[in-house]
Structures are given as structure tokens and as C-alpha cells.
Amino acid sequence: MGRIRKVVLAYSGGLDTSVILKWLQDTYGCEVVTFTADIGQGGELAPARAKARKLGVRKIFIDDLREEFVRDFVFPMFRANAVYEGEYLLGTSIARPLIARRQIEIARKVKADAVAHGATGKGNDQVRFELGYYALAPDIKVIAPWREWDLTSREKLLEYAERHGIPVEGKARKGIAPYSMDANLLHVSYEGGILEDPTYEPEEAMWRITVSPEKAPGRPEHVELEYRRGDIVAVNGRRMTPAKALAALNKLGGRHGVGRLDIVENRYVGMKSRGCYETPGGTIMLKAHRAIESVTLDREVLALKDDLMPRYARLIYNGYWWSPERRVLQALVDHTQQSVNGKVRMKLYKGTVMVTGRASRTDSLFDSSIATFEDDRGAYDQADAEGFIRLNALRMRIAAKLKRRK
């Protein structure tokens, strides 16, 4: 590929990507276009625009992608009940394919030669971003500064910033940030720094959007979710867009200390990593979705979904959202959700989520006339169970007789 003339940079406005912006200008002698995605991370985005302008950027994209993020990425993932390694609700993982897609769209719009990101060479995000780039634009040039430059420490980054007049916020300048943090509408994650010791218990002050279960209200709060085709359409009877529904559940769950997680996970690149997460709304969503499926999905369909879920979750964690196999799995999952309609009622109390009711007026497979322990008036002939049991025991009886003869 020829000389790089224009690059679209995934830009947060923080120390790393601000240094990257200037480094790209100096190293490649190219024009840099910045792209900042608003996916509900909170905080003011105007400083990112101001800093980019100060560094000479002429084309600045700051896009509100909150509804698209929840509608087209979070909700489809939750239809599959996706959980990585039994616990992680994939809050960072699911944001990357959206950012990658929009970055490629901007690159096409401004006729850029390349795209760049600020992910390190040790983490998962480099894989997630770049698999997305190549799936959507197979001939795109990708620049990953952390794999090229010699700025391998925070001190070197700060020295570079000072040398080139890059504005640096107080905390970053003093080097007192004890960990790195990533936030969006689905979660907040914390890793690195003092958290790299897996025996270290995080201080209470670390958590941003949940109260500690010990300090949560002493009285439970109930919430009712309404589902249509596997997606939430109303919270406590109020119709809401996907992003607003998730924001409302974050607020409810956070108030009751729901959704804290501290795990050691296996990164795709091969190492183990300790991460702490807050996912209050997502924790509620997972519990509620499984509850509505329990009354609307066939037993074997549920079992098939549960068999496939770990693979689906690994695909997202490892960056394969745009792969053909994820699309095939999504088509299967979405087909199962046609009957996932109804309401779920839950109780939130001191870090816990308990389902207290579930019902589907149109699609429930729960038949109380058959399930009852009282007189079912012939709906179920209990004598049929004898033959069912004997047939299912046949292979074990044959094996037991053979063993006895030996």
C-alpha cells in the first residue's frame, strides 16, 4: 500500500489517544480524522472535540450511537443469554463491533487510507477492532501504535505529551489513576494497576454506578418487564426505547447494589486477566429473559440454546461479531424468540435479583391443568410413566445384566 495520507482514529480524548493523534501526524505525516462514539459512557464529550481541534484536527466526528448500540448489539446478545466463562456479561466486547463499523463508514466517507485504534498489543480489544475492520473493509490499512512505537510506559506518554504541548488532565499527569476504566450503557469495567493483584479487594470508592449491597435500601423494590420477540419493550408498564430501558434498569439495579462482579478471565491472546465489572441493568435483563423463556420455549429448544450459548459468547468475546458463524447462530437465536412474549416481575434486594412472576398471555407453554399435583381430571395418565421409565432404563438394565454375568 502507498503512503498514508488520511487516517480515521477511534478517539476518546484521553492521554493515550491524544498522544496517538499527534504521533500519527508526526510518524506518517498524514491528516488525522477523529471519531468518538457516544455509547453511554457518560461525561462531557465536548472536551474531546476541543482537544482534537487544538491538535489541528479539521474533521471531527462525535456520534450518538446509544440507541443503535442497545437495539442492534446488546439486545441481540441478550436474546442468546450470552455469558462468557459463566459470569461476564460482555459489556466491553459488545461495544467494539459497533465502533469498528462506524469507523469504517467514516473512513469511506472521508476517503481515508487507514484506520487506527488505541488498544494495546496485550489485550482483546486490538483483536475485536481489527477483526471488525477486516470483515467490513478487507483491504483497509490498520495502524496500531502500541505495536509500533517505543512509548511503553505512562511516564514516556507524559513526556511525549509535554514535549508536544498535548493537554493532559490532572489525574493523568500525576499518574495517580489506580486502574483503567471503560464505560458504556451496558457496564463499567475496571482493570490494570492495583487490580492486577488478584488477591486485592477493591476499595468501595472504585464502584461508580452501584451502591454496596450492605448500604442498599432495607426494603425490596419490584420491577416488571414486558417482552416482545425476546426484547424489552416496557419497564413497569411504561413503553421505552432500548437505550432508555437499559438506562432505567441500570438506575434501578444500581440503587440496590445489583450487578457487581470480580473475576479472573481468559483473554483471547492467551493470558489471564483480572477484571471488575458493574452491570446492573444487564444482570436484571439476563435473569428476566431466562424467566420469560422458561414459560414460552420448548424444552429442547431451550437446551439447544444453552448448548450453543458458550460458543456464541466466545465469538463475541474474541471479536467475531461480524463472522458468518455468529450471523448463523444469531439467525437461529432470533427464530426462537418469535414466541418470547410476555411479562416478568422481579424483586431487587441488597445485590440480589429474584424472579417473582412470569406470564405470557399468548405464548405460554405452561399448562396448570397438566402440571398440577391436585386432581387433573385425566389430563395426564400417571400410569404412562411406567413404560416411559422402563424404556429409558433399557440400556442400563442390559449393561447391568452383562456385568452380573461376568
- Supply the residues annotated as catalytic: 16, 96, 125, 180
φ and ψ at residue 233, rounded to 5 degrees: -120, -15
Are residues 279 and 186 in contact, defined by beta-carbon separation less than 8 angstroms? Answer: yes
| Residue 396: all three cell numbers together | 442400563
Q: Collapsing DSSP states into helix, strand and coil, what is residue 247? A: helix
Residue 212 CA to residue 207 CA, distance in Å, equals 8
For residues 225 and 302, what is the distance between their CA atoms, to the nearest angstrom?
Answer: 20
Query: What contacts 24+ positions apart, CB below 8 Å, involve 154-161?
Result: 154/15, 157/15, 157/16, 157/19, 158/15, 160/19, 160/22, 160/23, 161/15, 161/18, 161/19
Question: What is the C-alpha to C-alpha distance for residues 279 and 259, in angstroms, rounded to an integer?
Answer: 5
Reported as half-sphere exposure (CB side, CA atoms, 13 A), residue 97 has a value of: 23
Cell of 18: 491524544
Beta-ladder partners of 260:
278
Give the integer Cα–Cα distance in Å for 201 and 193.
Answer: 13
Tally DSSP H helices, then E strands, for the chain: 14, 14
Largest CA distance in the chain: 87
Inter-residue contact 6 to 12 (CB < 8 Å): no
Residue corresponding to grid cell 448448548: 307
Closest-CA residue to 118 (of 37, 10, 193, 28): 10
Evaluate whether 38 touches 12 at the Cβ level (below 8 Å): no
> For the purposes of burial, counting CB atoms within 10 Å of the CB of 401, is it exposed (0-12), middle (13-18) or buried (19 or more)?
exposed
